[in-house]
Chains A and B, each alone.
With several copies, the nearest count.
Chain A
């Protein structure tokens, strides 16, 4: 034959782009965290560590196939380090390998992507579920053992949702009387609201003593429906959205899970810049973890935190996530005063 394709091209990937870091986040709809926190925090930290570096960001909108395209597009652009929050961590084995073959390093962010990743920074998603379960038990207090629970889980199609669910069950099963109604809310508030309506119809107004909601968006709709039915029981979520913090202030929601995005983002940025500049990463990623496909991945694992009315000040406000003024709009002024936020 007459030769190999690409033999005479000035390969952009070979020449490389030593100033760009790719950032791939999985979705933007079911949670506001990605574009509200992860992206800006990472961008800021990268700028601080390496002023002439830039971050090339794309969002997969909940599609593995789309994320793969974005991944390849970054490589086509010559990016050498990619921070990957895999939409579906299981799918990535072949991609990461392909990238590694081309000398592109991948940092698994938040979700442990399969394949030969260079490092991993995350919260433990199973742990999130456990914290949610425990917080609900705490909110019930002494009555916990006699309490019936309604669980509204995340979308079955989302791999994280399964982890939250199993984590929560680990704690709840045994500590509460019974999970009397359990359905997927598909990460959709309206769906969650209608499921809780069905639960009320079936169990009656006194048929359950607390509601587990896998995230805050669904919790909002659940609380609205409970209120409309005149039911007042603890409801918890996840993500520490501003609206959730406000509901905690007003006493409508019991807790949320705050995954401290800033430290997470900062570590990812540090790792990325180090890899870009060829430095050693052991100081940041001091732990080690095994994925389904690879062993001994350098890792940094952070702890998610439960936020209740008592620690709003010490968590989301202390970390600079929100200002008291953001939270304490007219509707919530009274609650804020009571909670000592000003």
Chain B
């Protein structure tokens, strides 16, 4: 029962022989993909599949879901809750929650519109003040959480109440304020780049593809130069190809309708920027560290309190932006803006997109994917004429269904991994 131990090997560690190196070329890509399916390590694929499924179901039910103008509407409406969801991703990365974001969205929209409409302030200035107020609110939450030690849940629950009170107070007796006709806020939702010029859409899509491809190439070059394992060209090509197809098809669809919607551009821009901050800067690394193990982060000399406070400022700032988009979409700021399902939808978006509620795992792209799922369900159901009770039940079922796929694949991953 004994084997002869090897005694010839050199002591300095070479590449671990147990690491399954993928075959080169396309075959290797396919093999790797198969392995990933088996071990459930599929990243965003299940959510994207869920999205496709939702689209297919609603299209077959209504025949209108894949209309260019419906799709355009969806891309416009994801911006408001989507931006709030981006803020939530940051908070969730810390393993915390921010319940106040709906109210913060509401109070910011109220401040911006009251200042610009009733007090006649310059609209840009009004917007800046509103965002500034939101940042201050976030800093206050962060302070009570990080410095006083009140659980974030309680701080932001108190905020949820207090800021919606403030929102009512700011709007005052006269209530709802219409946003300025054709003003900055009004245009957030309604403007199409170049007033619907299709050139903008194509340019935007191609820019995206080129940046993505170039980034991947450069990275791969640097890694090879440093003697590290790098993505093979075939894979870079394939990935860029997939991105290109998505971008170009989207551009084509948008151009069938009104062109490139401003809210989509801003939302995508913010997702890209925040993703960069999280993955490519020390600050982002610190957020992950605090979320993954606060004690380890503290012992590494990270200023945990500052990370926490700043994250709550970011989430409040994003909520303010989101609130402005919602005001733009409904044409007014009112006492209800930001209440109801807004917060839940945004949190759900982040979670559906794959951000963990327990900290340390997630990305802002999940806000985009998740809110697309949710907004597709909402819009799809709007096209189906059933009564409100049934609609609620279906929404619940579809929401669950969209995540089951993802969970099943993750479960495989879990059972084949540690823990």
Contact = CB atoms under 8 A, between A and B. Distances in A.
**Any A–B CB pair closer than 8 Å:** yes
A164 B22 CA distance: 67
Nearest to B332: A91
B385 A4 contact: no
B175 interface: yes
A88 B332 contact: yes
A291 interface: no
Nearest to A195: B382
Given A5-B197, A65-B326, A221-B332, A183 B382 contact: yes
15 contacts: A5-B201, A28-B388, A29-B335, A32-B171, A35-B173, A55-B385, A58-B382, A88-B176, A93-B331, A94-B331, A187-B336, A192-B330, A197-B379, A216-B176, A228-B190
Interface string A14-45: 00000000000000111010011001100000
B174 A32 contact: yes
A329 B201 CA distance: 37
Interface residues of A, dominant DSSP: helix
B176 A198 contact: no
A242 B332 contact: no
A157 B336 contact: yes
Interface string B172-188: 01111111110000100
Interface string B50-75: 00000000000010100111100100
A65 B254 CA distance: 22
Interface in B173-213: 173-181, 186, 189-190, 192, 194, 196-202
B159 to A, nearest CB: 18
Contacts of B62: 77, 202
Interface in B297-340: 326, 328-332, 334-337, 339-340
Contacts of A279: none
A330 interface: yes
A35 B386 CA distance: 11
B256 interface: yes
Contacts of B80: 65, 190
B186 A1 contact: no
Interface in A290-332: 326, 329-331
A201 B174 contact: no
A223 interface: yes
A184 interface: yes
Secondary structure call for the B interface = helix
B120 interface: yes
A174 interface: no
Chain B interface residue count: which class? 35 or more
Contacts of B177: 243
Interface in B135-185: 168, 171, 173-181
Given A12-B64, A331-B181, A63 B117 contact: no
A127 interface: no
A17 to B, nearest CB: 10
Interface in B353-399: 378-379, 382-383, 385, 387-389, 391
B69 A76 contact: yes
Given A76-B69, A157-B334, A201-B67, A5 B255 contact: yes
Contacts of A57: 385, 387
Say which size band chain A's interface belongs to: 35 or more
A273 to B, nearest CB: 18
B382 A73 contact: yes
Nearest to B178: A243
B181 A94 contact: yes
Question: Most A CB atoms within 10 A — which of B176, B179, B379, B387?
Answer: B176
B329 A156 contact: no
A189 interface: yes
A242 B257 contact: no
Interface centre among A55, A73, A155, A225 (most CB of B within 10 A): A73
A293 to B, nearest CB: 9
A328 to B, nearest CB: 13
Interface string A36-68: 100110000000000000011111011111111
Given A63-B336, A156-B335, 20 more contacts: A2-B197, A2-B199, A4-B259, A5-B196, A5-B257, A5-B259, A6-B258, A32-B173, A32-B335, A65-B330, A69-B329, A69-B382, A73-B383, A76-B70, A183-B388, A186-B340, A224-B328, A224-B331, A329-B117, A331-B180
Q: Which of B73, B180, B258 has the most CB of A within 10 A?
A: B73
A62 B340 contact: yes
Nearest to B190: A228
A70 interface: yes
A197 B73 contact: yes
B59 to A, nearest CB: 12
B77 interface: yes
B388 A190 contact: no
Interface in B65-119: 67-70, 73, 77, 80, 117-118
Nearest to A7: B198
B332 A220 contact: yes
A192 B273 CA distance: 32
A55 B385 CA distance: 9
A277 interface: no
A217 B383 contact: no
A241 B70 contact: no
Nearest to A244: B176
B254 A5 contact: yes
Contact of B378 (A3, A75, A156, A194): A194
B175 A32 contact: yes
Contacts of B178: 90-91, 93-94, 114, 220, 243, 246-247, 331
